[in-house]
Amino acid sequence: MNTTFISRRNLSKQILLALAGGLILFLGILLLWTIGYQLAYAGRIFPGVTVAGVDLSGLAPNDAALKLSQTLSYPNTGKVLFRDGDKMWVAAPAELGMVFDPSASALAAYNLGRKGGPFGALAGQIQARGAGVDVAPVIIFDQRVAYVYLQNIAVQIDQPVVEAMLRVEGTNVVAEPGQVGKLLNLDATIIYLGAQLQTFRDGEVPLVIQEAAPKLLDVSSQAEAARRILSQPLTIGVPNFREGDPGPWTYDVPVVANMLAVNVVDNGGAFEMQVLLNPSALRLVLNDIKTYVDRLPSNARFTFNDETGQLEAIEASHVGRGMDVEASVKAINDALLRGEHSVALVVQEQQPAVADTATGADLGVTQLIAEQTSYFYGSSSARIQNIQAASASFHGILVAPGETFSMGNYMSDVSLENGFAEALIIYGGRTIKGVGGGVCQVSTTLFRTVFFAGFPVVERTPHAYRVSYYEMNASGSVQSDLVGLDATVYFPLVDFKFVNDTPYWLLMETYVDVGARTLTWKIYSTPNGRSVTWETTGPTNVVPAPSPVFEENPDLKEDQIAQVDYAAEGADVVVSRTVWVNGQVYFSDTIETHYQPWSAVCQYGPGTEDPERKARRNELCLKS
């Protein structure tokens, strides 16, 4: 074994034993010092210990508590400052719920250097002996008292969020700015207050005030926009105004003010106030105007010159137009925001199918293909006037290939203003006097023209009873094979419709010969080899007319007799038609009619004796 190695190992052991012995000796001395120091100050506070700056060195806890209570008056004499701008509030700590506990504070001072084990106690003793230790005073903080005090401050600080406002009073625009909201956070402020009270010193405690901004703070620009809108009346009209166009329409400032709306909109979190005319109110106005602005496109009207074979325009075509209400609402509001007060409506134009320049070759109108004449002998002047007014609505009309023609689409309103007169009409199961009596002469003539031309009939309604006008021939006699070939109309409930099932346009012309008491309907187009054969059952199941009816009419004089309805037999009629094209059957159809038996009705004035005898003497209200 190496002697040198053994010697070194023994030396290391000796050094470690020496160090361990020294450490034990040091700890022993430290323990003796601590025990001895505590014994020296048994029952007394170690030197260098203060509470809130009051020296309690060497005092027993009771004495220290007495000294603290006599020395520390901070709870009652201290000052705590709160500030909000130029507003200040000063309170004594006791007003804020602070109570000083001198006994607990003296005990805390006494325990310094006696807790935390030997090393902790020794460290406390050394620190107090050397630099001194100021023990925090023990206080009781009643936060309920602080809450009450701070709530009184909050009453003076808190203010709600006020949104900017804009309103219209009459025609005046009133704008009020918004206000930032403020709210004192009591819980956060009390945390700062507790920390300040613990220092036992005067000081300022920050008030924790939270602010809430309104959605809109300033609306002065919107108010100015509203005033511009109300600075002048609003005038709206159709674009490119021409004589004969409707409008313009002008709305005074009070009317515009009544439609003005103020809306707040959210643009992705950024709020914005919009000033505009209320779209709903504006739509109501524009929908009323739309009835005047909108018009369907109308084709030119023509007559066919039989000598030249050419069309001659008798009425120009008209471009149709339709108002876009939603686009017009936006256009009006946009213009007002630009400071404009005369605004053009948004209108889409619709071109007519046939312009004035069209030719017969363009339309396939090359010659007369159908013509029918009806007779109205014995008609009153009022009935003749109505026949003329109604037939004029259809003179020069074009029917497109494939179109279902409706008389109701072309017939002008049957009114006195449109040239119609009062004459006898069938209404409510009675023949009465009403505006438009005689219009059915026109519908019946068209029906017969269409029937014999071979066009499909879509809608046809017969009269309730047989009417002599529609069964007359040129001599004024009843032509039995015409029974069941009538058509009544009563727009918009009862219409007459047929289909132009050819590839060519149809041109219709109507001619009234008052002297001859005739109405002639002509249709021009291109012949397509169409012909018609037909047969009729004539009147069957004939039912005699009921006995005449006599009624008193207070508007008539005594012994005055007036016949207001005429007797007619009831009957059934079936008319069968076959339409041929180039010798082949194209289609067949059947027209069925049921006529009710009809009573003659006579009216007489009050006081008239034996009106039936007087009626027979005057050949009125006879059964047949």
Q: What is the pLDDT of residues 415-448, one digit of tens each?
A: 555 455 664 444 445 544 544 467 899 999 999 9
Distances from the Cα of 203 to the Cαs of 85, 134, 142, 323, 487, in angstroms?
Answer: 17, 19, 19, 75, 107
Q: Give me the number of domains the chain comprises.
A: 6
Strands (E), 117-193: 133-135, 139-141, 165-169, 172-176, 181-184
Say whether 585 sits in a helix, a strand or coil: strand
Question: Can you tell me which residue has the tokens 């059952």?
Answer: 537
Q: Where are the alpha helices (DSSP H) in 428-585?
A: 439-453
Query: Which secondary-structure segment (H or E) carries 250?
Result: strand 249-251
DSSP structure string for 398-436 = EE-TT-EEEHHHHPPP-SGGGT--EEEEEETTEEEEEET
- Asked if residue 405 and residue 517 are part of one domain, the reply reads yes
pLDDT of residue 34: 63
Dump pLDDT digits (tens) for 454-506.
Answer: 999 999 999 988 888 888 899 888 898 999 999 999 878 899 999 999 999 99
Helix (H, G, I), strand (E, B) or coil at 141: strand
**Residue 85 and residue 179 in one domain:** no
Nearest to 244 by CA among 192, 283, 293: 293
Q: If DSSP codes are grouped into helix, strand and coil, which group holds residue 11? A: helix
Is residue 564 located within the same domain as residue 621?
Answer: yes
**How far apart are the two ends of the chain, measured CA to CA in Å?**
168
Q: Which residues contact 205 (CB under 8 A, 6 or more apart)?
A: 80, 81, 82, 189, 192, 193, 196
Q: CA 199 to CA 364: how far, in whole Å?
A: 110
pLDDT digits (tens, 9 = 90+) for 576-596: 999 999 999 999 999 999 999
Are residue 177 and residue 123 in the same domain, yes or no?
Answer: no
pLDDT at 148: 95
Does 477 share its domain with 588? no
Q: Cα Rg for the chain, rounded, in angstroms? A: 56
Question: Comparing 317 with 119, which gets the higher pLDDT?
Answer: 317
Domain end among 212, 244, 276: 212
Q: What is the CATH number of the domain that holds 235?
A: 3.10.20.800
- CATH number, domain of 612, equals 2.20.230
Whether residue 473 is contained in a domain is answered as yes
Angle between helices 279-293 and 325-337 (to 10 degrees): 120
**Residue matched to tokens 């948004």:** 346
Q: Determine contact, residues 167/156, Cβ cutoff 8 Å.
A: no
Residue finishing a domain among 179, 212, 245: 212
The domain of 176 spans 165-212
Q: 549-552 and 601-604 as β-strands: parallel, antiparallel, unpaired? A: parallel
Q: What is the pLDDT of residues 533-579, one digit of tens each?
A: 999 999 999 999 998 999 999 989 998 988 887 888 899 999 999 99
Note whether 450 and 522 are same-domain residues. Answer: yes
The answer to the question of residue 438 being in a domain is yes
Is the whole-model pTM more than 0.75? no
565 in any annotated domain: yes
Q: Does one domain contain both 452 and 574?
A: no
Q: Does residue 207 lie within any of the structural domains?
A: yes
The region of weakest confidence among 12-16, 250-254, 264-268 is 12-16
- The answer to the question of residue 363 being in a domain is no
Residue 380 lies inside a defined structural domain of this protein: no
State whether 610 and 539 are in the same domain: yes
Is the predicted pLDDT of residue 109 greater than 80, yes or no? yes
Angle in degrees, CA 21, 24, 29, rounded to 5: 125
Domain boundary among 191, 212, 233: 212
In a domain, 361, yes or no: no
Q: Which amino acid is at 52?
A: A
236 and 338 share a domain?
A: yes
* 552 shares a domain with 469: no
Measured N-to-C along each axis, helices 3-40 and 117-130 cross at an angle, to the nearest 10 degrees, of 60
Q: Is the pLDDT of residue 38 over 50?
A: yes
DSSP state of 584: E
Same domain, 246 and 144: no
Give the integer Cα–Cα distance in Å for 352 and 51: 105
155 is written with which tokens? 């009453």
Does 538 lie in the same domain as 494? no
**Residue 19 maps to a domain:** yes
